[in-house]
Chain A
Amino acid sequence: MFEFIIAGVQSPWLLLVLTGATVGMVGGFIGVGGGYMVTPALIVFGFPGYMASGIDMTHIAGKSVVATVRHRQLGNIDWVLGLAMVGGTMIGVEQGVRLLTWTKTIGLSGIVLLTTSVLVMIGLFIYTQIETQAANKVAMQMEKEGIKVGREITTSSLPAKFQRISLYPIVRCKTARIVISMWVIVIVGAITGVLAGFLGVGGGFVRVPALIYVVGASTHIAVGTDLLEIIVSGGYGALRHSMMGNVDFIAVLFMIVGAMFGAQFGSIATAYVRGPAIRYILSYSLILATVGAFLRLAYMLTGSKYAVLSFFAVVFTLGEMFFLCFFIMSLVLFAVRYQKGKSVPDWIPSLVVQK
């Protein structure tokens, strides 16, 4: 146990390191900050709500730097795309925070927040699942026919429509191999920023699908570039929370130690898999988080009468982290076995990269 003087709680430091490691792994792999998982975990460990959000946001900023450094080495960051999006994101985050303040003034924030989360995540889950299933089927068929499958395979026709918008200035993103109007990137940044600011999260779980299905980036580029974005949005959030005194920095340090290991593993793991594998994990993370949020919403809508709902929400949220880590580790293990020519389950070859 460690006494966190600023937060005023005693909490097992090892659990913080472990939380940092698990969320770091998931975040490094699918390109999200993981705020929707960390804040509940910190509350369970005894941190007050405001401190949990502040510690979470500050740790996300640091963890994203760790993961971004690795994704830069893997060539998964398109700096032009990332920087073009930053402006829109910042404007969006500020508007999202204002929207949140407004809903608070009319006494609705908690319920509106959770309802929006649930709806957005369900929508993204459905679209990502359908598209990824289709892409995976194509990859499996190609594998069967002996056609070499590339690292990325998508079936969505949406990016082509957005890339056809010829509004000046047109941006050439060399690493991502995209030519697109800057306005599309800025607007995507602004919309995802509003959601991030309103929901109080880094926004990765909205931005990664948006980068793939609207901008047309490959999944790997979307993950790496989004982590770059999270440094900015998470850094801004960390600054605001810190100025309000919502951060016990020592708790952040424990988490960042775990995140260093987790984010390394998660980021390196992307080199072993194809785009659909990342999108599958992203969609599962979305639906699991949705169930957790839905349980909390049900708890709030029933006037906080049924404590069992809140309990299962916590169990679900914490269980999600371990489930996703287990899934990622299994994928890497199978990828290594496949590359060595050993036997793997039938669903693995279309998801992992051949040497």
Chain B
Amino acid sequence: MTKTTGAIKFVFWLAVSVGLFYYAFHSYYTGQMISWYYYKAKNDGYAIHSGAFKNATKENPAMLQIGKFDKIEGLQAVEVKKGDRLPVNADGIIDKKVIKEEKRVKLEGEMIKVMVASEVKDAKGFKFRDTFKHKGIMTNPWAGAWNLVMILAIGLALGLMAEGMTDIMGLKLEKIVHH
């Protein structure tokens, strides 16, 4: 392959790669990707925004106001049933079973008292901080297909772009004959 065709290949696949990256970041920042992730409730409980009370402890608990909000802002919680579409900004569910246990959270009238926002847990021998984020939520199944198609397309575009790049550089890579 000549350097000219290499350059054409590089520019074309560079444009495709940039387009795919732009589309992915655009979907992320406009909130579309996030709305796919935090799609529906998997269990009965309260939809919350975990970041609002991430530092809550027994000594310094956070009080969440229960109500019917379309968008969760700060210390708010919305009661949801299994299969309900989650309100905007919700990123987890406090399961009713967890509330019954009263170890991490407690129901106090129209308020939820969060006493343990995070716990250190083990996974395959590694420690990590487990929070209410991502608990009890269901992702839009189509988001899985979108992710897969995007990553394969990006991989292909980047691979062919790099091939164009080495052609421009004049790196002669010949097929290996296997004996």
> Which residues does A use to contact B, with CB under 8 Å?
5-6, 8, 39-40, 43-44, 46-52, 58-59, 61-70, 73-76, 110, 113-114, 150-152, 175-177, 218, 220-221, 231, 235, 238-245, 247, 249-250, 252-253, 256-257, 260, 263-264, 268, 271, 293, 295-297, 299-300, 304, 307, 310, 313-314
Contacts and interface: CB of A to CB of B under 8 A. Distances in A.
A62 B134 contact: no
B95 interface: no
A297 B125 CA distance: 7
Contacts of A63: 155
Contact of A249 (B24, B133, B159): B24
Given A5-B28, A296-B126, A314-B126, A66 B179 contact: no
B173 A73 contact: yes
Given A245-B139, A271-B173, A296 B159 contact: no
A310 B121 CA distance: 13
A235 B179 contact: no
Interface of B: 21, 24-25, 28, 33-34, 37-38, 50-51, 91, 121-131, 133-134, 137-139, 141, 143-148, 150-152, 154-156, 158-163, 166, 171, 173, 175-179
B144 A65 contact: no
Contacts of A151: 176, 178-179
A43 B126 contact: yes
Contact of B159 (A48, A59, A70, A241): A70
29 contacts: A8-B133, A39-B124, A48-B134, A49-B123, A49-B128, A52-B128, A58-B151, A61-B148, A65-B155, A65-B156, A65-B159, A68-B159, A69-B159, A75-B175, A75-B178, A110-B125, A218-B178, A218-B179, A238-B148, A239-B145, A242-B143, A242-B147, A243-B141, A249-B24, A249-B150, A249-B151, A257-B158, A268-B173, A297-B125
